[in-house]
Copies of this chain bind each other. A is one copy, B any other.
Amino acid sequence: MEPDFSPLAEHLADRGIDAYLIDADGDDANQRYLSGFDAPDPFLTCYRPDGIALLVSGLEYGRAVTESRADTVERPADYDRQQLVADHGAREADRRVRAAFLADKSVESVLVPERFPLDTADGLRDHGITVTVDNDDRLMQLRAVKTPTELDYIRDTQHANERAMDAAESLLAAADVDADGTLVHDGEALTSERVKHEIEATLLEYGCGLDSTIVAGGRQAADPHERGSGPLHAEEAIIIDIFPRDKETGYHSDMTRTFCVGEPNDTLQEWYDLTEQALDAALDAVEAGASGADVHAAACEVYEEAGLPTFRTDPTTEVGFIHSTGHGVGLAIHEYPRLSPEGGDLEAGQVITVEPGLYDPEVGGIRIEDIVIVTEDGYENITDYSRAFVVG
């Protein structure tokens, strides 16, 4: 099911701008969303209410015609690039080709994403085209609300994620513990790397991949983005955070569980219970019309009431609840909306993570993350995974 771009058309009309323009490769979520096309090198997508036009290299032309959602696909040869190169050199030739591509469609003004390439913008401006940055993030907001097809894609990726988490948890649960507390598997220390390998191999079975994943135990877990390395240990909290992407659809999912092999100490158990409470409090706040700021505040309150620092109470704290409560997920891993102090209103159909956590190098780290679909009255939790802390 195709996304409905009419809000974008309305926005262009409101602002008196002819077209929305993207210059990016297929890894760029805006590009993938608008063009439906995945290519390793940057290309142009020009959206007008009349239709979508792509400008791709000669090499990608055939594939773009077949695979993209564009109404028209063009290439530099259509604008006589070779002659322009001979007359003006490659850089100016490319500028003229882009300008001609737009002129061909009577486009004199374009709205572009914030991260549109500066040189392309300067080149268009030099050729008399007005380039305006989409500071309202209209396209980002549009793709934050998922179609039923997109929601299914995310469910599928999440299903793969749960299989991978299960494979990781099973390794932990089956591990032996040697005399100094190190986890042992197949006669050698069970490492973060071994668990990550299991995660990635499982994801591959389900057509998903990722660049890096987090399996961080003990002190390592106290840094929320620490990916983890080396042997894992009993009686420590081990954070496993997996954010895979389906290789075919491009849609992500995201989930975190924290495990302890053997008995956690009292502080870790207390932190785990608090984090579950913060997660539930944040989830309770989720519904269309609530703001990301509300949801984040609900999580912060639980921690603050227990006397733990958050960025609200201390902006430079390095311990406690030291990140936002969550983010949108889709073609990009971090999308609208944000569950942070600046988070705007939630809309039904958005997909968000809710992921409170506590961190302190003297204690370790705890994080529990679910992924949910915002609904009119609340949310649909699409994370089908238990919240057990102690395993093995």
Contacts and interface: CB of A to CB of B under 8 A. Distances in A.
Interface in A25-64: 27, 38-42, 58-63
A323 B59 contact: yes
A226 interface: yes
A122 B209 CA distance: 36
Given A115-B117, A133-B122, A62 B223 contact: yes
Contact of A318 (B62, B116, B223, B334): B62
A41 B335 CA distance: 11
Contact of A133 (B119, B210, B223): B119
B131 A119 contact: no
A90 interface: yes
A337 B120 CA distance: 21
A58 B133 CA distance: 27
B117 A116 contact: yes
A259 to B, nearest CB: 22
A197 interface: yes
A212 B247 contact: yes
B247 A211 contact: yes
Q: How large is the interface on A (under 10, 10 to 19, 20 to 34, 35 or more residues)?
A: 35 or more
Contacts of A210: 209
Given A85-B342, A200-B204, A334-B41, A59 B225 contact: yes
A112 B101 CA distance: 26
A58 B322 CA distance: 8
Contacts of A341: 85
A356 to B, nearest CB: 14
B118 A225 contact: no
A348 interface: no
B247 A40 contact: no
Given A114-B117, A121-B118, A133-B119, A334 B40 contact: yes
B91 A135 contact: yes
B135 A119 contact: yes
Interface string A97-119: 00000000000000010111111
